[in-house]
A = this chain, B = another copy of it.
Amino acid sequence: MKQLVDSLAIFGGAPLFAEPRPIGQLAAPPVDEYLALLKQAFELRWLANGGPMVLGLERRLAEFHDTRHCIAVANAGLGIMMLLRLFAGNRSGEVIMPAFSFRGLPHFARWAGQQPRFCEVSVDTHTLDPRAVSEAIDSNVRAILAVCNCHSPGDIDGLSRVAAAQGIPILFDSVYAQGATYRGQVLGGFGAAEVYSLHATKLLNGFEGGYITTNNDDLAARLRWQREFCLPSIRPAGVAENENILGINAKLNELHAAMALLSLDHFDDIVAGNQQRFEAYAEVCSRLPGLRLVTAPETGERRNYALMIAETTPPWPLSRDQTVAFLRAEGAAISPYYSPALHRSNQDSRNLPMPELPVTNALASRFLQLPGGELVSLDDVRAIGRLLEFLVENGTVVASRLLERGIV
Interface positions of A (Cβ within 8 A of B): 26, 28, 31, 34-35, 38-39, 42-43, 45, 47-48, 74-78, 81, 85, 90, 103-104, 107-108, 110-111, 113, 199-201, 207-208, 229-232, 241-242, 244, 246-249, 251, 253-256, 345-347, 349-351, 375
Q: Is the CB of B230 within 8 A of A347?
A: yes
Instruction: Give Cα A350 to B246, complex, Å.
Output: 12
Residues of B within 8 A of A208 (CB): 48, 74, 251, 253
Residues of B within 8 A of A90 (CB): 110
Q: Is the CB of B48 within 8 A of A200?
A: yes
What is the CB-to-nearest-CB distance from A258 to chain B, in angstroms, rounded to a whole number? 10
Q: Is the CB of B39 within 8 A of A229?
A: no
Q: Is the CB of B200 within 8 A of A47?
A: yes
What is the CB-to-nearest-CB distance from A129 to chain B, in angstroms, rounded to a whole number? 26
Residues of B within 8 A of A349 (CB): 242
Given A74-B75, A208-B253, A242 and B351 touching (CB < 8 A)?
yes
Given A231-B103, A242-B346, A28 and B45 touching (CB < 8 A)?
yes
Residues of B within 8 A of A345 (CB): 232
Say which residue of B246, B253, B350, B375 sits within 8 Å of A110 (CB atoms).
B246
Q: Is the CB of B103 within 8 A of A199?
A: no
Q: Is the CB of A207 within 8 A of B351?
A: no
Residues of B within 8 A of A77 (CB): 229, 248-249
Instruction: Give Cα A207 to B208, complex, Å.
Output: 14
Say which residue of B48, B103, B107 sits within 8 Å of A201 (CB atoms).
B48
Q: Is the CB of A104 within 8 A of B247?
A: yes
Instruction: Give Cα A26 to B247, complex, Å.
Output: 24
What is the CB-to-nearest-CB distance from A81 to chain B, in angstroms, rounded to a whole number? 8
Residues of B within 8 A of A34 (CB): 38, 42
Instruction: Give Cα A186 to B45, complex, Å.
Output: 31
Residue of B whose beta carbon sits closest to that of A335? B233
Residues of B within 8 A of A231 (CB): 103
